[in-house]
Amino acid sequence: MLKVVFDTNIYISAFITPGGHGEIAYQKAIDGEIQLFSSVPILTEMAGKLQDKFKWDAEHVTEAVRHIAAVAVVLKPKKRLSVLADEPDNRVLECAAEAGAEVIVTGDKHLLKLDSYRGIGIITLAKFLENEPSS
């Protein structure tokens, strides 16, 4: 089964845009088509953005985090990386490295510029959905 890490914005897209590409990708994890990995730092960043940028109340944010925790394997990466200037991007790389992931799905231009990291492909959401068989 394909091991995948989503960056924060893929999760946000999944929760903010019902029926959108983010939700379709997340549904693949719910349906057991992919093995999704996340980390405490990724979920913390997502929670902060949902509260600050999208004005979600604490209860809804907690519900979203709990949902992801029930679907994904949530890791606490032991090794800190400093590959990119943007620290949250490094947290995504740490999670993927710890998980032994095959793919990182992101819209972040700094991550996408890497193309891959230690054999882990870094692709856009559209590319991920194009390459994955539909359910």
pLDDT for residue 134 is more than 70:
no
40: amino acid identity, one letter: V
> Which pLDDT band holds residue 132 (cuts at 50, 70, 90)?
low
pLDDT for residue 135 is more than 80:
no
Tens-digit pLDDT profile for residues 66-98: 999 999 999 999 999 999 999 999 999 999 999
| Element containing residue 110 per DSSP (H, E) | helix 109-114
Report the predicted TM-score, pTM, of the whole model to 2 decimal places: 0.94
> Average pLDDT over the chain, rounded to whole?
95
pLDDT for residue 133 is more than 70:
no
Average of per-residue pLDDT across 29-50: 97
- Per-residue confidence (pLDDT) for residue 131, from 0 to 100: 73
Termini Cα distance of the chain? 14
- Per-residue confidence (pLDDT) for residue 51, from 0 to 100: 97
CA dihedral 26, 74, 62, 68 (to 10 degrees): 20
31: amino acid identity, one letter: D
Give percent of the chain above pLDDT 70: 97
Pair of tokens at residue 92 = 């995504």
Average of per-residue pLDDT across 55-62: 97
Lowest mean pLDDT among 5-9, 29-33, 131-135: 131-135
Domains of the chain from N-terminus onward: 3-129 (3.40.50.1010)
